[in-house]
Amino acid sequence: MPTATKTRTVSRRPASPANVAALFREWLSLRRMERLTANRVTALRDQLLEVVEKTGTVDEKGHQILPLPTIVVDEDGERWEGLQRQRVVTRTFDEDRAVALLKRHRLWIGKEQLRALEALRAALPALSIDVAPNPEAMLRLAYEGKRLSAEEFDGLFTERVTYRFVPKKV
């Protein structure tokens, strides 16, 4: 049979002109504590990431993992076994590279034609016309027209690698 949990109610003073200054002072104090806590959490995360980077092992996905020497149990009873510096790769479509590639394949239209197509698209919103290179159009070019190699398509994107702190539960 599940046990009932007690909830603690905090008595609140109703806001009034007489206590508004005290309520505002408490709000300011809590906001400052929140800011200080956030700064400390960030500093601890950065220290932990540094330890994982220096001493962790790299898995097949490029994540760095550091097992904790012992299982850590938090105040909520959650059990933690390790830390991970998770590798995150972000690919961004590079429009300048796409334009250069379209020009190389003689598929780029001039600026005057582009302006005319943009005006037409504005006049007829239901009309679907690609007026600028986009990843979907480049993918169609790659696979339907067989004009674009996989290497050329991959070259249309810039990759940025960042890392995220991920504690690992048991």
What span, in angstroms and rounded, lies between the C-alpha atoms of 19 and 31?
Answer: 18
Count the neighbouring beta carbons within 10 Å of the beta carbon of residue 141: 20
State pLDDT tens for residues 36-56: 999 999 999 999 999 999 999
Q: At residue 162, does pLDDT exceed 70?
A: yes
The 3-state DSSP class for residue 93 equals strand
In the chain, pLDDT over 70 holds for what percent of residues?
66
| Contact between 86 and 161 (Cβ < 8 Å) | no
What span, in angstroms and rounded, lies between the C-alpha atoms of 59 and 86?
Answer: 10
State pLDDT tens for residues 1-22: 555 666 666 666 677 788 899 9
State pLDDT tens for residues 99-127: 777 777 766 666 665 655 565 556 555 54
In sequence order, what are the residues at sequence separation of 6 or more whose Cβ sits closer than 8 angstroms to the Cβ of residue 159? 89, 90, 91, 92
Domain limits of the chain?
20-92+159-169, 95-154
Mean pLDDT of all residues belonging to the chain: 81
